[in-house]
Copies of this chain bind each other. A is one copy, B any other.
């Protein structure tokens, strides 16, 4: 699949299916993106010729100049086979078919889909789609035919996302952008008629720009589930592979049928198989975000499941305990000696009302320094494997510096530290203080606990295979 490499970094592109009358047609949106946002040499194609945005339109792929490395096809389904054949004759190695109207709409579409797969295979074209929104590689190319003002794009980073649903992918882009998590690439595989999720898993397994691979899958063709988990198994020792599987309920499974007409329910792609193959199995969008984000930090490992928790609110400690328990993480009570050691470094005036059993509640009177010093003590205890901070910046003694201050304490220890900070604009300075210094921040208590769970699952797997 060398075509994939070219597809994600083409030198010259073409967009087949621009309109000379409707500037908002998908083809035109894609053309404008490639040509003007990405600054790639891009040929617009339409049998009628003319110009688009001042650029001369070529009447066909055959009539266009040589050297095109990627063609994006956005024409009605019935015209796709002939366009694809022209691409083959022109030695274009990678093609994205965004057009819908294939296997997702019934038998006629399915036979059309078989036809284009045969053409792509014949000419050794790497084809993504049909029925997809294509690919987005920050700072390289963006074929998502959605106006830029409607969908935020995340910054360049180290998470590769592969999705069987374009809508799901778009929302992750928005979410990654708003949470400031960078991506290496985002791929909408659509009906995955030829290249499928496994091909991209393998690609990003080797791509050094991707440290985390995230996939949303709904179903697999016969035997493809097995290939998928085997590919994951090869990559898991090197980088985390996070998978959300849609259609796991009976109703959801039925819904996948009309969506991608893929076969869900392949036994190879089950929870048990995921565990066995080292796949991090996310159960919903919240877990997807938590796991993708925490792994993007290349966090320290958690050699066991014991968490020490530091809060300024008793209720938050209680809720975190419930959440941790749900994920099989424990908060062992600190011994009398440990409690005394933490109490001793706390501001004398507030020592008496603070509680150090675990979760520790420093109370709303705590200051940055209390937080720092108690954490320093706590990270030194060999009865915990990680620390969870529940930071409520409402308390008057907490300053905007706290993120960076606490992160600097954490740097001196080999243990993972994760913080919860409510995700509000006014706390952005705090959140950045944490994150730029290596501590991932969850925007709900649940997310912070899920982040620890992700690290623990990953560490456990690496312990199991003897890597750590």
Docked complex Cα distance between A331 and B166 (Å): 22
User: Is A246's beta carbon under 8 Å from chain B?
Assistant: yes
Report whether A255 and B318 are in contact in the complex, using a CB–CB cutoff of 8 Å: yes
Least Cβ–Cβ distance between A359 and chain B, in angstroms: 5
Q: Contact string, A164-200, partner B, CB cutoff 8 A, digits 1/0?
A: 1111101100100010000000000000000000000
Least Cβ–Cβ distance between A260 and chain B, in angstroms: 7
Docked complex Cα distance between A170 and B313 (Å): 10
Report whether A318 and B100 are in contact in the complex, using a CB–CB cutoff of 8 Å: no
Query: Which residues of the partner chain B approach A258 to less than 8 Å between Cβ atoms?
Result: 314, 355, 357, 361
User: Is A341's beta carbon under 8 Å from chain B?
Assistant: no
Within 8 A of B (CB), among A303-323: 311-323
Docked complex Cα distance between A101 and B446 (Å): 29
Report whether A319 and B246 are in contact in the complex, using a CB–CB cutoff of 8 Å: yes
Q: Contact string, A18-34, partner B, CB cutoff 8 A, digits 1/0?
A: 00000010000100000
Q: Given A167-B315, A321-B247, do A150 and B393 touch, yes or no (CB 8 Å)?
A: yes
Within 8 A of B (CB), among A137-186: 146-147, 149-152, 163-168, 170-171, 174, 178
User: Is A352's beta carbon under 8 Å from chain B?
Assistant: yes
Report whether B364 and A167 are in contact in the complex, using a CB–CB cutoff of 8 Å: yes
Q: How many copies does the complex hold?
A: 2
Q: Given A322-B251, A325-B252, do A167 and B422 touch, yes or no (CB 8 Å)?
A: no
Report whether A165 and B313 are in contact in the complex, using a CB–CB cutoff of 8 Å: yes
Report whether B170 and A394 are in contact in the complex, using a CB–CB cutoff of 8 Å: yes
Docked complex Cα distance between A361 and B326 (Å): 35
Partner of A249 from the list B178, B251, B325 (CB cut-off 8 Å) is: B325
Chain A: interface residue count, which band? 35 or more
Docked complex Cα distance between A363 and B254 (Å): 18
User: Is A284's beta carbon under 8 Å from chain B?
Assistant: yes
User: Is A324's beta carbon under 8 Å from chain B?
Assistant: yes
User: Is A250's beta carbon under 8 Å from chain B?
Assistant: yes
Query: Which residues of the partner chain B approach A152 to less than 8 Å between Cβ atoms?
Result: 424
Report whether B445 and A147 are in contact in the complex, using a CB–CB cutoff of 8 Å: no
Partner of A165 from the list B146, B247, B315, B355 (CB cut-off 8 Å) is: B315
Most chain B CB neighbours (cut-off 10 Å) among A167, A284, A324, A446: A167
Least Cβ–Cβ distance between A22 and chain B, in angstroms: 10
Docked complex Cα distance between A215 and B352 (Å): 29
Report whether A361 and B259 are in contact in the complex, using a CB–CB cutoff of 8 Å: yes
User: Is A104's beta carbon under 8 Å from chain B?
Assistant: yes
User: Is A231's beta carbon under 8 Å from chain B?
Assistant: no
Query: Which residues of the partner chain B approach A247 to less than 8 Å between Cβ atoms?
Result: 318, 321-322
Q: Given A249-B322, A285-B444, do A315 and B146 touch, yes or no (CB 8 Å)?
A: no
Query: Which residues of the partner chain B approach A320 to less than 8 Å between Cβ atoms?
Result: 255
Most chain B CB neighbours (cut-off 10 Å) among A314, A363, A444: A314
User: Is A256's beta carbon under 8 Å from chain B?
Assistant: yes
Docked complex Cα distance between A276 and B429 (Å): 47
Q: Contact string, A91-130, partner B, CB cutoff 8 A, digits 1/0?
A: 0000000001100110000000000000000000000000
10 residue pairs A–B, Cβ–Cβ below 8 Å? A147-B396, A167-B315, A174-B422, A216-B315, A249-B325, A251-B331, A255-B320, A255-B357, A256-B314, A259-B355
